[in-house]
Amino acid sequence: MTPSSILFIILQLCSLQLMAVSMPTCQMQANVVKETHQALRDLGGSFPAHCLQYNVNISFPYSAFPATTAGHPHCRRASAVVYESLKGMQQIFEDELPAEEGGVNWDNTKLSTFMILQDRLLEQGSCLSTVSPNVLMSYFSNVTAVVQQENSAVCGWKALMRDVLEVLEIAQLKHETCFTRRR
Ligand SMILES: *[C@@H]1O[C@H](CO)[C@@H](O)[C@H](O)[C@H]1NC(C)=O
Ligand SMILES: *[C@@H]1O[C@H](CO)[C@@H](O)[C@H](O)[C@H]1NC(C)=O
């Protein structure tokens, strides 16, 4: 082998490595999905019957989840639904954090446990934000409208927590292969 062909091979290997590094390995971890789900359940409590009237305003588009459960495109989409749900929820928490007057009795320890896990998942899935069209836009603008009104704020929060809880449940039941396992 000539020195130049060896150099050529080395260059090829280097560029392969660069490609591997620059490809987004964007996956949320199964155990963090699970812990986030548990933390949200602890935080949320039950859904009050008097809030059922707001189901007209707040109805999560579950059809955003892929129907099939095989292959890479399916996983991208399922993960993106999880990502966007958490991202939207985080935004609402930041902008409209329900204070005492919202009538929600927040347990601050549970709230911060949940928010830390939510942050971690969003970090793990951060490259997903660029791959999905924002299918949940109308959902979140409805939630915002409901939590911004004093007499419906509590119901808005409860509905949001109910829906994101369901999203995390579906993700684990039907799309569990999309999340990496800790070794
Ligand atoms: C948003 O609210 C309107 C009613 O105000 C309702 O018709 C629509 O289905 C809601 N969309 C979502 C995604 O919740
Ligand atoms: C809920 O939807 C109804 C029907 O579209 C609308 O009139 C009402 O203002 C909405 N309520 C809130 C709190 O957004």
Instruction: Decide: 140 in ligand 1 pocket, CB within 6 A.
Output: no
Task: List the chain domain ranges.
Answer: 25-178
CA 45 to ligand 1 center in whole angstroms: 24
pLDDT value of position 18: 43
pLDDT value of position 183: 60
Q: Closest-lying ligand to the alpha carbon of 152?
A: 2
Query: Per residue in 122-142, pLDDT tens?
Result: 999 988 876 666 779 999 999
Mean pLDDT taken over the chain: 83
Q: How far apart are the first and last CA of the chain?
A: 41
Band the pLDDT of 71: cuts 50, 70, 90.
confident
Q: Please provide the CATH number assigned to the domain covering 25-178.
A: 1.20.1250.10
The residue whose two tokens read 């949001």 is 160
Residue 154 has pLDDT above 70, yes or no: yes
